């Protein structure tokens, strides 16, 4: 069976500095995989390569067996949450999601509303997104990533800027998506979240990706206490 996500020998440099150096990764369907690493280690760059937002210098990305840049440029049915999603600032939350939903025409208004409610947003709130708080924008980003029942989710720091209750809500949503068998790729600076949600954990260090050992897990547990 094809892996949901497969990376082969991915390299990416900026200004002569290797950010990703010969990255290989295979994620099976239905698994939740965590990527950890220091600020600036390359987690977002890796996620953007997987989503087809940036091209690697070398290497191949396959989503459900389809090679990016060959049969498809952007993977289909992948829910993406990468920090600071772009919104139409003069639209309200519902209008923004409706605008995006109209591209694929897979879901109706009711599904958008149900999804907004599931992340704690009121679909009838007419406030423009430019007046949303950071946490509300974060919730809207999560809603767009899951509203079409995308079976692969790429979530870069989904817990940033959330108050405690919303954080709990979003964490529970990710848990249920995991239980439903979605394939999830996740970053968080809170190691406890990664440990609780993920089936396997990788670390990016010095442009290399490696499966974390129990020693590294201990180090991170200690750090997040
Ligand atoms: N478009 C770009 N041009 C030049 N350098 C870039 C570009 N995008 C990313 N970088 C560099 O690549 C490195 C990795 O950035 P990335 O955003 O992937 O880090 P990260 O691991 O997600 O960090 P954080 O935990 O702070 O979110 C950084 O040094 C960053 O400056």
- Residue owning the nearest CA to atom 6 of ligand 1: 14
Domain around 15: 1-77+183-225
The confidence score (pLDDT) of residue 1 equals 57
Cα–Cα nearest to 27, from 10, 8, 7, 4: 4
Is residue 55 situated within a structural domain?
yes
- Residue 142 in domain: no
pLDDT at site 85: 73
Residue 119 and residue 155 in contact, taking contact as beta carbons nearer than 8 Å? no
SS (H, E, C) the chain: CCCCEEEEEEEEEECCEEEEEEEEEEECCCCEEEEECCCCCCHHHHHHHHCCCCCCCEEEEEECCEEECCCECCCCCEEEECCCCCCCCCCEHHHHHHHHHHHHCCCCHHHHHHHHHHCCCCCCCCCEHHHCCHHHHHHHHHHHHHCCCCCEEEEECCCCCCCHHHHHHHHHHHHHHHHCCCEEEEECCCHHHHHHHCCEEEEEECCEEEECCHHHHHHHHHHCC
pLDDT recorded at residue 224: 57
Answer yes or no: is 10 within a domain.
yes
pTM of the entire predicted model: 0.90
Mean pLDDT of the chain: 91
189, pLDDT greater than 60: yes
**Residue nearest atom 29 of ligand 1, based on CA coordinates:** 40
The mean per-residue pLDDT over the stretch 36-60 comes to: 94
Sign of CA dihedral 104, 184, 112, 52: negative
Q: What is the CATH number of the domain that holds 28?
A: 3.40.50.300
Q: Is residue 194 part of a domain?
A: yes
Q: Which residue has the higher pLDDT, 26 or 162?
A: 26
More confident residue, 193 or 160: 193
CA of 131 to the centre of ligand 1 (A): 28
Pocket of ligand 1, candidates 16, 19, 185: which has the most ligand atoms within 8 Å of its Cβ, to mutate?
19
- How many angstroms does the Cα of residue 42 sit away from the middle of ligand 1? 5
Nearest CA to ligand 1 atom 30: 40
Does ligand 1 lie within 6 Å of residue 150's CB atom?
A: no
pLDDT at 207 over 90: yes
Q: Choose the most confident range, by mean pLDDT, from 28-32, 67-71, 80-84, 186-190.
A: 28-32
The verdict on residue 121 lying in a domain is: no
Prediction ipTM score: 0.97
Q: Is the CB of 188 under 6 A from ligand 1?
A: no
- pLDDT average, residue stretch 193-213: 93
Question: Where on the phi/psi map is residue 164: left (φ > 0), alpha (ψ -120 to 50), or beta?
Answer: alpha
Answer whether residue 207 is part of any domain: yes
Residue 62, Ramachandran bin (φ over 0: left; ψ between -120 and 50: alpha; else beta):
beta
Query: Is the shortest distance between the CB of 40 and ligand 1 below 6 Å?
Result: yes
pLDDT, residue 220, reads 67
- Region 23-48 average pLDDT: 95
Which pLDDT score, from 0 to 100, does residue 115 have? 95
pLDDT digits 0-9 by tens, 121-160: 999 999 999 999 888 998 999 999 999 999 999 999 998 8
Q: Say how many domains are in the chain.
A: 1
List, for residues 69-102, the tens digit of each pLDDT value.
Answer: 887 778 888 999 987 678 899 999 999 999 999 9
- Residue 219 confidence (pLDDT) above 80: no
Give a yes or no: residue 176 inside a domain: no
Question: Does residue 26 belong to any structural domain of this protein?
Answer: yes
Q: Tell me what the mean pLDDT of segment 5-30 comes to.
A: 96
Ligand 1 pocket test target in 17, 36, 43, 45 with most atoms within 8 Å of CB? 45
* Angstrom distance (rounded) from CA 220 to CA 133: 30
* Cα-to-centroid distance, 94 and ligand 1 (Å): 31
């Amino acid at each position: 069976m094809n892996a949901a996500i497969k990376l082969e020998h991915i390299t990416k440099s900026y200004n002569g500095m290797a950010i990703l150096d010969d990255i290989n990764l295979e994620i099976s369907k239905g698994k939740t995989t965590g990527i950890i690493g220091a600020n600036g280690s390359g987690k977002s760059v890796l996620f953007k390569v997987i989503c087809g937002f940036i091209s690697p210098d070398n290497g191949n990305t396959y989503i459900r067996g389809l090679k990016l840049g060959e049969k498809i440029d952007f993977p289909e049915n992948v829910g993406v949450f990468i920090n600071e999603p772009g919104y139409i600032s003069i639209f309200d939350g519902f209008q923004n999601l409706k605008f995006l939903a109209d591209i694929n025409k897979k879901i109706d208004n009711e599904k958008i509303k149900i999804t907004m409610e599931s992340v704690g947003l009121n679909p009838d709130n007419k406030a423009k997104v430019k007046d949303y708080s950071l946490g509300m924008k974060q919730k809207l980003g999560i809603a767009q990533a899951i509203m079409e029942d995308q079976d692969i989710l790429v979530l870069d720091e989904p817990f940033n800027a959330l108050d405690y209750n919303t954080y709990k809500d979003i964490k529970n949503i990710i848990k249920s998506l995991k239980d439903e068998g979605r394939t999830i790729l996740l970053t968080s600076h809170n190691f406890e979240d990664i440990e609780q949600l993920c089936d396997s954990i990788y670390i990016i260090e010095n442009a290399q990706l490696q499966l974390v050992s129990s020693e590294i897990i201990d180090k991170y547990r200690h750090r997040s206490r």
